[in-house]
Amino acid sequence: MQTRKHFKTKLLDNGILLLGFDQKDKPVNLLSSDVLEELGLVVKEILVNEKVKGVVPVSLKNSCFIAGADINELKSVTSREECEQLVRKALALLASIENSNKPFVAAIEGVCMGGGLEFALACHWRVASDHLSTVLALPEVQLGIIPGFWGTQRLPKLIGVGPALEIIASGKSVFPKKALRIKLIDDLVANMATEKRTIDNIENEALVSVAIQRAHEIASGQKKKRKIGIFNRFLGWPLVKNAVGLKAKKDILAKTGGHYPAPLRAVSAVISGNETRHLLDLITSQVAKNLMGIFLATQELKPAKQNMISPHKDRIGVLGSGLMGSQITANLVETGYTAVMKDIGAPQLCKGMDRIDGIERKDLERQIISPAEFDRRLLRIRPTLDMIQLRDLSIVIEAVSEQLAIKKILLKEFEGVASKDAIFATNTSSYTVAEIAADAKHKERCVAMHFFNPIKSMRLVEIGVAPFTNLGTLTKVLELARQMGKIPIIVRDSPGFIVNRILARYLIEAIILKSEGVCNKDIDSAAKKFGMAVDSGRVMGPLELIDFVGVETCLHVIKSLKRLGSRFEDRPEFADMLRAQNRPERTNLSQQVITNRLILPMADEGIRCLAEDVVDSPEKIDMAMLYGAGFPAFTGGLLKWARDWGLDKMRDRLEELAGQYGSRFTPYENFKNLN
């Protein structure tokens, strides 16, 4: 066969062809238009080659089968016709694979998402590795679109309408053990991938060896292609399918408030079979463009791999085993690090270990990890009461209670035992690095890593950089954040960084609205109808958020921001009012007025952060508020929403609010400057 740019082939003695995918100049395999073009030519050659009895598609990249379509290409689509042309080619290609009398057996290890999973669904058998990197998903709804390569039709036939709708309409990931249980894959193999995969050595992997055997068995008639089960055929009857679809739509509306059209369209596509029409209706929508823009911006925020620290070699310290410290420790051991977790007493450490056990046990129960991996994670924790145990560590993360004096004492104690290059990263939410490191011997190695609760689901980490923080320190904590699976955003060391500073305006106004006698339910309902926290899976308004975070914590953050100006009010009666469960309610305001009073001050504060160089681009403020504060993704982000809403209109509305409710609404003098 011809030598290709993205694909390598090797014909084995038994007639099974290894089809190795290694997209040139890309870290992952994507189904871009040129890849699909080349794959189509390769498949045509395979189908007419009499020597080929079966095919094993496999990735030559570690930890990635096929990551999906090229989002840059999708975002650039401007017309239905352009999209339809791409989809038709892909559908024809996958149909030729599905209808081939030569079995295609996908050997899946690593990321298998979107178009990658749709490719695997067109194959006749699926063998997957149980490696931790293996994950299967159809996440298109998270980009504002739906699967477009017939995934909405092949998946229900394979696993049933109900389970398929759960995967397609949510975009959630499926891990190997569950994939086997619901029959999304046919075989699960314990695989040890070679360090550098090539078309010549990959057949020695257990995963590929099993896939080759299955292809040979199907080709020789020893094993038949899996047929659709009787129960799944029953669920495919129109009346049953329609009933399941109606229930799914009702559940989606309850979760999304109707802000996201893609999940509803996904259900319609599954039920009606008209997948392409629904995709074409969505592809050029503003919601889809916003969500794709967020995805691409998120990819850009991930720092390039530096290999300065390794989960398999480095140990990371955590000072504090409370709510945040235990979660940070869990995140570290989940990504392969050994974590030395220190606290002042055995009871605190025991409680922290119990909390970590609970976190990891959830992964075990969901079959994301094996019992052996569960044990390995817990064994990677080194609880200690002695600061000397942190002396050889490269990075220590401080996550004790939010008291400046305690943080300064811990830093002093740590510097007394630390190695010469050790980094002290504080998880502070209200103090600056400069305040905490005021008396430090080595200020240049002090930085902030501000995580968000709950750490497992909140992907943002604010990296607070003081004027004295050196480049080496910044580079290492960025690498650590990347290894932990987080989205790091570099911010200038300043009160509240980005998220707490902007979110405080939202929470303060909610408290003031409550003080005026506005009904709690009306305040929270206005925020939820706008879309706040709709993407979190735990929809809540500002007063509900205060209850979740804790009244004292919220008031402490608000108080710490008073230095930024009078718009950060700290009234003595706030605490008593928040604790009062039955405060008389006497004021009725329209939902739009409540929404404007809650949301517009955040946009104003975002522009102030940009003007003060707290961060270097509006896109980073958008990402911070999306991933750290629950600002709705369908808007594209806080400042993207402000631009779309109209900056002139927004400034006028803020001035009106200032005239009615006080100077805290007075817009920033250069409000329209988003450069």
Instruction: Round to whole Å and give the CA distance between 178 and 182.
Output: 6
Instruction: Round to whole Å and give the CA distance between 323 and 548.
Output: 13
Confidence band, pLDDT 50/70/90 cuts, at residue 523: very high
CB contact set of 354 (below 8 Å; sequence gap of 6+): none
Whether residue 238 is predicted with pLDDT greater than 80 in this model: the reply is: no
Whether residue 582 is predicted with pLDDT greater than 70 in this model: the reply is: no
Report phi then psi at 159, rounded to 5.
-120, -5
CB contact set of 542 (below 8 Å; sequence gap of 6+): 506, 507, 509, 510, 523, 524, 527, 532, 598
Instruction: Round to whole Å and give the CA distance between 196 and 60.
Output: 8
Position 275, amino acid = E
The DSSP letter of residue 274 is: -
Note the residue count of the chain.
675
**SS3 readout for 589-615:** CCHHHHHHHHHHHHHHHHHHHHHCCCC
Mean pLDDT of 137-145: 97
Do strands 315-319 and 338-342 pair parallel, antiparallel, or not at all (unpaired)?
A: parallel
Whether residue 633 is predicted with pLDDT greater than 60 in this model: the reply is: yes
Report phi then psi at 533, rounded to 5.
65, 10
pLDDT above 90 coverage of the chain, percent:
79
Instruction: Round to whole Å and give the CA distance between 619 and 639.
Output: 8
The DSSP letter of residue 174 is: B
The DSSP letter of residue 33 is: H
Q: Which residue has the tokens 């189908």?
A: 47
Domain positions in the chain:
7-296, 315-492, 499-665
The CATH number of the structural domain formed by 499-665 is 1.10.1040.50
- Measure CA of the first residue to CA of the last residue in the chain; give whole Å: 53
Q: Write the DSSP assignment of 505-521 as a string of letters.
A: HHHHHHHHHHHTTB-HH
**Contact (CB, 8 A) for 17 and 10:** yes
Instruction: Round to whole Å and give the CA distance between 675 and 666.
Output: 21
pLDDT computed for residue 509 by the predictor:
96
Catalytic: 509? Answer: no
- Residue 318: strand pairing partners: 341, 397
CB contact set of 497 (below 8 Å; sequence gap of 6+): 448, 450, 462, 464, 491, 614
Dihedral angle of Cα 275, 278, 283, 284, to the nearest 10 degrees: 150
Whether residue 101 is predicted with pLDDT greater than 60 in this model: the reply is: yes
Instruction: Round to whole Å and give the CA distance between 378 and 371.
Output: 11
Q: Give CA separation, 351 vs 133, 316, 348, 456, in Å.
A: 30, 20, 5, 18
- CATH ID of 7-296, from 3.90.79.10, 3.90.226.10, 3.40.190.10, 3.30.70.20: 3.90.226.10
**What are the pLDDT digits (tens) for 143-164?**
999 999 999 999 999 998 989 9
- The kind and range of the H/E element at 135 are strand 135-137
Among residues 178, 154, 180, 181, which one has the least CA distance to residue 168?
Answer: 154
Given the residues 45, 82, 118, 585, select the one marked as catalytic.
118
Mean pLDDT of 495-509: 96
pLDDT computed for residue 144 by the predictor:
96
pLDDT computed for residue 537 by the predictor:
73
Instruction: Round to whole Å and give the CA distance between 229 and 183.
Output: 11
pLDDT computed for residue 224 by the predictor:
77
List the structure tokens of 312. 């398999």
pLDDT computed for residue 312 by the predictor:
65
Mean pLDDT of the chain: 92
Rounded to an integer, what is the distance from CA 15 to the centroid of its chain? 42
pLDDT computed for residue 583 by the predictor:
60
Given the residues 109, 140, 360, 619, select the one marked as catalytic.
140
Burial of 229 (0-12, 13-18, 19+ CB in 10 A): middle
Rounded to an integer, what is the distance from CA 33 to the centroid of its chain? 26
**SS3 readout for 526-574:** HHHHHCCCCCCCCCCCHHHHHHHHCHHHHHHHHHHCHHHCCCCCCCCCH
CB contact set of 230 (below 8 Å; sequence gap of 6+): none
Whether residue 608 is predicted with pLDDT greater than 90 in this model: the reply is: yes
Q: Which residue has the tokens 């590929």?
A: 208
pLDDT computed for residue 456 by the predictor:
93
Instruction: Round to whole Å and give the CA distance between 488 and 451.
Output: 10
What is the third-level CATH fold of 315-492?
A: Rossmann fold (3.40.50)
Instruction: Round to whole Å and give the CA distance between 71 and 90.
Output: 15
Instruction: Round to whole Å and give the CA distance between 454 and 326.
Output: 11
Catalytic: 140? Answer: yes
pLDDT computed for residue 574 by the predictor:
82
Helix (H, G, I), strand (E, B) or coil at 57: strand
Confidence band, pLDDT 50/70/90 cuts, at residue 12: very high
pLDDT computed for residue 575 by the predictor:
79
**What are the pLDDT digits (tens) for 159-186?**
989 899 999 999 999 999 999 999 999 9
Instruction: Round to whole Å and give the CA distance between 219 and 225.
Output: 10
pLDDT computed for residue 235 by the predictor:
62
Whether residue 341 is predicted with pLDDT greater than 90 in this model: the reply is: yes
pLDDT computed for residue 503 by the predictor:
97
List the structure tokens of 113. 């998402």
- The kind and range of the H/E element at 460 are strand 460-465
pLDDT computed for residue 334 by the predictor:
95
- Residue 425: strand pairing partners: 397, 447
